[in-house]
A = this chain, B = another copy of it.
Amino acid sequence: MSRPVAEWLERFETAVTAPTKADWKSVFSEECYWRDLLAFTWDIVTIEGQAAIAAMVLQQSARIGAGGFTPAEGTLPMSDDTQGWFTFNTATARCRAHVQLRDGRAHVLLTAMVELIGHEEIGGSRRPDGIAHRAEKGRRTWLDQREETARTLGHSVEPYCLIVGGGQNGLMLAARLKRLGVPTLVIDALERPGDCWRVRYRSLYLHDPIFLDHFPYLPFPDHWPLYTSKDKIADWLEIYARAMEIDFWGSTLCTAAQYDEKTGEWTVTAKRGDETLMLRPKQLVLATGLAGAKHVPHIRGAENFAGRQYHSADHGSGAGMADKRCLVIGSNNSAHDICVDLWEHDAQVTMIQRSPTIVVRADTMREGAKTLYYAQPGADIDLADLMFAAAPFRPRLASEKGFTDYLRQVDAAFYKRLADSGFQLWHGEDETGFFMAYYRRAAGYYIDVGGSELIASGEIPVQHGEIDEIVADGLCMADGTFLPADVIVYATGYRPMHEWVSLLISPEVAGKVGPCWGLGSGTAGDPGPWEGELRNMWKPTAQQGLWFQGGNLMQSRFHSLHLALQLKARMETLPTPVYRAAGAAG
C-alpha cells in the first residue's frame, strides 16, 4: 500500500472507531461515495456525502465493531498513490475494502463483507475429510446421506431457506448456502435445472463473454467458447446443480406463500407433480428472474388475426417460416434475435419499432471487455468482482456518458449506416447508454450480434410508430400503413418481477415491498427517488424473510455471496443491525 493511502487509512480508522470526534472532512472529499456491501450497514447501499457518511458511522460504529484495518497483502491491481486495498473485521465478519482518493481524501470507498467469523464456508483449508478412517457400526456413506436428505428435506425436515426458481440465480445462491451449511431447497416449475434456458429460442447465445460468466467454485474449463449457446449453459446449470449437491425439486410450482410474523415462518404451497406440499421455511428467496409474466400489449382487433401470433417467449425457431410474412413488434434484444432467426429461415420479416433503441455492437463490447481484469489469464474472480463493485452507480453516470462518446466514435460508421436506414437509435434519455439502461429497467437495448446489419442493408425493413389495429390478414399502423402478415411476434417484454410478490403472497406485501430492480434515476421506467443501488435486490426488503436474487451471471455470482451471508447470519442469530438513515422508511 502506498504511503498516501496508508496515511488515509490511519485517518479513516481513527474516524470510524471514534465517530463522535471524527473530522470527516479530512477523510472524505466534498463529493464522495461510500459503497457498503453488508460490512457496516448489513445492507447494500451507497452513501453519498460527508454528512450522510457521518450519520451512518455514528449509528453503526458501536453496533458493528469494526477494527483491525490492515493494508492488503500482495500486489493487487488498482493499487497506486491514489488508491488501494485493505481488510478489516467487524465483530461478526471479515471484510475487504478499496479506497480511491482525491487530494488525499476518499472519493469512493468500497467496504464489502466476505466471510462470517466462526461461520465460514467449507472449502480450502476447511475442506471436510469425507470419511473417518476407522470401522464404525451404523456409519453412513455419502450416498446414504444424500438419499436421506432427498427423502426428508421438504417433508419431515423443513428447509431453513426456500428458493423459488432454479435458474442460475437460484443455483448460485443455493451453492453458496450449501457451503455455509444452510439447509436449502430449490424449487422450479420446469423439470430440470437449465430448462429455463432450454425453452428459449434456439438461436440464443449469451451476450457476455465467458470470462464474466463463471459460477462460484466451479469455473468453466478454459476451452469453453467465448459465447455460450443457451443449450450449453442449460447443461452447465444441470452439471452445476449436481456437482454442488443442490437439493432441487423440478416440476414444482410455487402457488402461494404466507408469512407468519409471530413464528417468523413462511407457509409455502408447492405443487410437485400431483402432490401439494406445504413448506415452512424461515426465509423465502424469489429467484424467478428479472422478468415477470409475459407482457402482451392490448392491440385493437388482435383477436381477429387469422395468422399465428405469439409472445417472443414462445418463439422456438424460425424453422418452417420460409416465405411467411412475419411482423415482429419490438426492437430490443429478443425482437432483433427473432428477426434474425426468421430471416435465416427465409421468412419475410418486418420489425415494428415503437420507440428509440440503444444499440451496442457485441464485438465492440467484447474488445472493451478484453481489457478488464476479468479477462486476464489466471484472474482472481472474487477480486475482479470487487474491482467492478468499486464503481458505485452515481459516479458511473459520467463514465457511462464517456463510454457512449467512445462508442459513437469507434462505431461511427456502423451507427451512421443504421440511422440512415431509418432505425431509431439513441443512447438513452441522458446518453448514459446501454449499461445504465440495464440497471434502470433491464430493457431498451439491443446488443448487436448481426441484426443491425440486416436492418442497415434493408434485408429487414423497419416500421415505426404506434399500431392502430390488427385485422385478419395484417396490421394497420397509426399512420395508415397496412402491413400484411401471416405471423405476428410480440417481442414486447415482460411484466415486472415484483408482480410475483402480488401473485404468490399478496398485493399488500407487494405494495409494502415495492418494485425490484432500478436505481430510482427518475428516467422513464425507473421512477425516483434516487436509491443508488438496485432496489430490493440481494438485500433486506420491507417484508421480513423475503429476499430477491437475480441479475445477470456476473451479478448473480457476486451478490449471491451477500445474500448468502445475510441468510446464514440470520440462521445463526448473529446480530445483523441493518442501517436505516434517519427519516428513511422501513
Residues of A within 8 A of B (CB): 121-139, 141-143, 146, 179, 202-203, 205, 210, 217-218, 221-229, 231-232, 235-236, 238-239, 242-244, 340, 343-346, 361-363, 377, 448-451, 453-454, 459
Q: How far is the CA of A39 from the CA of B159 in the complex (A)?
A: 56
Query: Contact at A225–B179, with CB atoms within 8 Å?
Result: no
Query: Contact at A124–B377, with CB atoms within 8 Å?
Result: yes
Expressed in whole angstroms, the minimum distance between the Cβ of A347 and any Cβ of chain B is 11
Name 27 interchain pairs, CB-CB below 8 A, sorted by A.
A123-B221, A124-B223, A125-B377, A127-B210, A128-B225, A129-B225, A130-B225, A130-B227, A130-B229, A131-B205, A131-B225, A135-B454, A135-B459, A136-B344, A136-B450, A137-B346, A138-B344, A141-B229, A142-B225, A142-B228, A142-B232, A143-B231, A143-B232, A179-B223, A218-B221, A235-B242, A238-B242
User: Which single residue of chain B is at the shortest CB-CB distance from A233?
Assistant: B142
Q: How far is the CA of A137 from the CA of B343 in the complex (A)?
A: 8
Query: Contact at A130–B451, with CB atoms within 8 Å?
Result: no
Query: Contact at A227–B131, with CB atoms within 8 Å?
Result: yes
Expressed in whole angstroms, the minimum distance between the Cβ of A440 and any Cβ of chain B is 25
Contacts of A448 in B (CB 8 A): 133
Query: Contact at B223–A217, with CB atoms within 8 Å?
Result: yes
Contacts of A203 in B (CB 8 A): 139, 141
Contacts A130-B228, A226-B128 given; indicate if A202 touches B136 (C-beta within 8 A): no
Contacts of A129 in B (CB 8 A): 225-227
Expressed in whole angstroms, the minimum distance between the Cβ of A452 and any Cβ of chain B is 10
Chain multiplicity (copies) = 2
Contacts of A361 in B (CB 8 A): 133
Expressed in whole angstroms, the minimum distance between the Cβ of A326 and any Cβ of chain B is 15
Q: How far is the CA of A227 from the CA of B239 in the complex (A)?
A: 21
Contacts of A179 in B (CB 8 A): 223
Contacts of A243 in B (CB 8 A): 221, 235-236, 239
List 19 additional A-B contacts (Cβ < 8 Å) besides A127-B210, A127-B222: A124-B377, A126-B223, A127-B224, A128-B225, A131-B227, A132-B450, A134-B450, A135-B340, A135-B451, A135-B454, A137-B343, A137-B345, A141-B202, A141-B229, A142-B231, A143-B202, A221-B244, A235-B242, A239-B239
Query: Contact at B231–A141, with CB atoms within 8 Å?
Result: yes
Q: How far is the CA of A453 from the CA of B129 in the complex (A)?
A: 20
Expressed in whole angstroms, the minimum distance between the Cβ of A181 and any Cβ of chain B is 11
Contacts of A346 in B (CB 8 A): 137
User: Which single residue of chain B is at the shortest CB-CB distance from A205?
Assistant: B131
User: Which single residue of chain B is at the shortest CB-CB distance from A121?
Assistant: B223
Expressed in whole angstroms, the minimum distance between the Cβ of A532 and any Cβ of chain B is 34
Query: Contact at A223–B128, with CB atoms within 8 Å?
Result: yes
Expressed in whole angstroms, the minimum distance between the Cβ of A145 and any Cβ of chain B is 9
